[in-house]
Amino acid sequence: MRELPEASNRLFNNADSFAQAFDDAWKQHEERDPHHGLDPGAKVDLMLERLADHPFLQNEPDLARQVAGFRLRLLGLAGPSR
């Protein structure tokens, strides 16, 4: 299993569970490598790769990508989506 955020001890096949896991993965990446130099789109791709075992991402990959984009806009973490 890929590296999942520490706070994610239970994963559910829904958008809320995925959004929480995505937020946690994003935050952990920022803490570990604050000068990573990735543009937001590349970082989303990296987060999706790290969360590849999440059931929502496996069953609804397009919707999971939309949720990721929504979270970035909601939290003001990215410019315009790709």
Residue 1 included in any domain: no
Q: Pick the residue with more confidence: 8 or 63?
A: 63
Residue 75: partners with Cβ closer than 8 Å, 6 or more residues away: 23
How many domains does the chain contain in total? Answer: 1
Residue 80 lies in a domain: no
Check pLDDT > 60 for residue 80.
no
> Minimal CA–CA distance to 44: which of 75, 6, 11?
75
Of 2, 55, 42, 29, which is closest to residue 63 (Cα–Cα)?
55
Q: Is 58 domain-assigned?
A: yes
Confidence of residue 82 (pLDDT cuts 50, 70, 90): very low
Mean per-residue pLDDT of the chain: 86
Does 10 reside within a domain? no
Query: Domain for residue 67, yes or no?
Result: yes
Name the CA dihedral angle for 21, 9, 36, 59, rounded to a multiple of 10 degrees: -40
Domain span at residue 57 reads 15-30+39-75
Instruction: Determine, yes or no, domain membership for 44.
Output: yes
Look at residue 34 in the predicted model and tell me its pLDDT: 86
Percentage of residues in the chain with pLDDT exceeding 90?
A: 63
pTM for this model (two decimals): 0.79
Tell me, yes or no, whether 82 lies in a domain. Answer: no
